Amino acid sequence: MRFMLSLFDPEGYWDSVSEEQMGAALDEHRAFARFLGERGIEFSGEAVMPAGEAVTLRPSDDGVSVAKAPFAERREDFAGFYLVDCADLEEALEIAAHCPMGAGVEVRPVWSAPS
């Protein structure tokens, strides 16, 4: 069963960190990737640009409206994600507890369409 670990950071965090802090954070993610590999957990993931770079499309009476803004305003920035293949939610939560936290990690099952 696949789960998405959504990563969040305090708003504007990456604009305020030093190169040393950035390097330390990246080292934490490399260590988490090694942890997943050692556990035999299949995974993928990416970091994303800050919310200020987001463009949102929404349906409107005129077709599609486009806004240079995140989908939802929040105090934390969606920073990236990991997709992990785990036996169940319990294992996904145990794995997520080892993930670099930032402002938090949301664990959500990935929906699979029926065949």
Separation in Å, CA 114 to CA 2, 92, 102, 111? 15, 22, 35, 9
Range scoring the smallest mean pLDDT among 23-37, 38-52, 57-71: 57-71
Which pLDDT score is estimated for 35? 97
* Mean of pLDDT over the chain: 90
Range scoring the smallest mean pLDDT among 24-28, 31-35, 99-103: 99-103
How buried is 93 (Cβ within 10 angstroms: 0-12 exposed, 13-18 middle, 19+ buried)?
middle
Contact 6, 92 (CB under 8 A): no
Which pLDDT score is estimated for 3? 96
Q: How confident is the model at residue 56 (pLDDT cuts 50, 70, 90)?
A: confident
Contact 102, 8 (CB under 8 A): yes
Whether the per-residue pLDDT at 59 is higher than 80: the answer is yes
CA 82 to chain centre: 6
Q: Could you tell me how many residues make up the chain?
A: 115
Q: How do residues 9-25 score in pLDDT, each as one tens digit?
A: 888 888 888 999 999 99
Q: Residue 43 half-sphere exposure, CB side, CA atoms within 13 Å?
A: 26
